[in-house]
Structures are given as structure tokens and as C-alpha cells.
Amino acid sequence: MDDDAVILSALGYILTAERGTAAPTKTEIAAIPDSIPDNWNNIGHTSRDDLPSWGHDGGDPEVKGTWQNEALRSVVTEVATEFVTFNAVQFNREILEFYTGRGNGAAADGTIEQGVYHASSRGGRNPERALLIVVIDGERWGAFYAPRVSLSREDDIELDSEEFMAFPLRATLLQQTGMPFYDWIGPTIDGEGSVPDQVSSTVEQAA
């Protein structure tokens, strides 16, 4: 039992990068937010009341049996779709692109008008990014990294006079060829006193 391997979700940051960007090193992650790793972008403020939530659709085990043994084996007949949801409260072009899925908000002639996000009636392809979520508890921290996610709206925008305007987002995990499906990264993963540059638990997507 390691009392130091317990993390309170007191503070956190969500960063994105170009799809397929490698995870920052453990040293670089530990320096966030004072220093943002090269090629990564802090998406800004997110909801404190609705913290990131990990979920999945499908992939549930199904029991298969024979005449002789009605519960012979547990099998998964379909690959689960895994995702992370969070509410962004930063009102800027990047978040609007993630939420609408309609590109960078350029006008019909391709120009970007300062302070205006133009949304086309035609749906586009959801933006894809690498994703890094860092949870900080004093000197303790843990991080989740996915080299490829598809960002889209999770729910409708609902205004509340006592709350910040929020954009509910879903990051659906996708497989980036030649890279892990996702990593958990943290100095306590392999026990107290772990000091490798990047201690991580890598998950490969099931075939």
C-alpha cells in the first residue's frame, strides 16, 4: 500500500496537439502549467463542476456456453468505443471548431474574420487531435494521453445566469497507426520511488 499513490482531482489541465504527436516526457508533464511542452496547446478553462469523465459504448462481455457447460467462456463480440467528455468554458475559435465540427470558421472566401466564427450549414469532418489530460494534487500528478481523438459536441449548450457558458465536448479515442491506443502516465504507476523519465501504462486497442 502506497499512501502517496492517491491523487485528488484538485486541479487539472487539458492540452491538445496535432494528431499523432508523441506524449510529453514525465519531466515536461510535471512542469505544466508553468511550462507547456513544445507542440502542445492548453485549451484553457474547463468546468470545475463537470470534470473530465471517461466512458465507453459497447464492448460488453457475453457469456457463451455449450450443452455441457452453459457458462463456458466470456467473449467480447464487438469493439468498445471509448471516449472522454469534458465541458470547455473558454470562448474561442479552437473550442468552437471542436464543438461545431465545421472547420476553423473562415468565411466563404477562405478568410478568417477577426472576432467572428462563421459556421457553414454543411457539416464537416470532426477535428482530430492528440489529447493530454493532467490531474494535479499538490506535488502529485497523473496524466492521460491519447495520440488520436475525434472531437465533437457531447450535448447542447445550456445557459445559466449563475454559471459560465460551457461547450460540452466528447473526445472519441481512435487508433493512430504504430502508436498506443492510450497511455496513463505518472510517477507512482510502478510503485513508490519510481523515477524513470516516463512511467506509463500503455493500452493497445483490441483487434
Residues 6+ apart with CB under 8 A from 39: 17, 18, 21
- The pLDDT value recorded for residue 102 is 81
Distance CA 48, CA 40 (A): 22
Distance CA 110, CA 65 (A): 59
Distance CA 201, CA 36 (A): 22
108: left (phi over 0), alpha (psi -120 to 50) or beta: alpha
Distance CA 83, CA 54 (A): 6
Place of cell 462481455: 61
- The pLDDT value recorded for residue 84 is 98
Give the number of C-alpha atoms closer than 13 A to the C-alpha of residue 47, restricted to the C-beta side.
Answer: 16
Place of cell 485528488: 8
**pTM for the full model?**
0.86
- The pLDDT value recorded for residue 195 is 43
List, run by run, the mean pLDDT of 10-residue segments along the chain (207 residues): 87 98 96 96 96 91 86 84 96 94 83 88 83 95 98 94 96 96 93 51 63
